Amino acid sequence: MKRYLIFGVIVPLLLPGMLSVATAADQDQLQTRDQTPDRDRDQLQTQDRDQIYGSQLMTPGERAQYHTRMRNLKTERERERYRLEHHRQMQERARERGVTLSDQPMLRGGGMGPGGRQ
């Protein structure tokens, strides 16, 4: 008799409430998952800007070209030469726009990845 009462009467009465809680939790999880790509994209864009000297003076396309070129250069010497040339270009662009940039190129390894600042 007690089993019938529990499974036959009480569980069906509680079931709609339990389902609504589960549905609300699923909706919260979906909403959070939908927002995550935007947040990740924004963080990556900020990191890109922070890792390129004068990036605030560059378009997103120019930043992408910079990264592609750096990846395609074969030696550290070539990359360093490209960094210095880029530094000169950004200094000139800053002068043209009346903006002040640091005199020093960004140090290699200045990002927060492996071997970054401790």
Residue recorded with tokens 């927002």: 35
Average pLDDT over residues 36-46: 57
Reported as a single tens digit per residue, the pLDDT across 60-78 is: 999 999 999 999 999 999 9
Residue 89, pLDDT above cutoff 60: yes
For the cut 80, the answer to whether the pLDDT of residue 8 exceeds it is: no
Q: Rounded to the nearest 10 degrees, how much is the dihedral formed by the CA atoms of 23, 29, 33, 38?
A: 100
Query: pLDDT category, 102, cuts 50, 70, 90?
Result: confident
* pLDDT value for 17: 63
Overall pTM surpassing 0.85 (yes/no)? no
Most confident range (mean pLDDT) of 9-13, 19-23, 83-87 is 83-87
Spatial distance between the Cα atoms of 81 and 17, rounded to a whole number of angstroms: 66
Q: Where are the domains of the chain?
A: 16-97
Model pLDDT, residue 51: 82
The mean pLDDT of the chain is 74
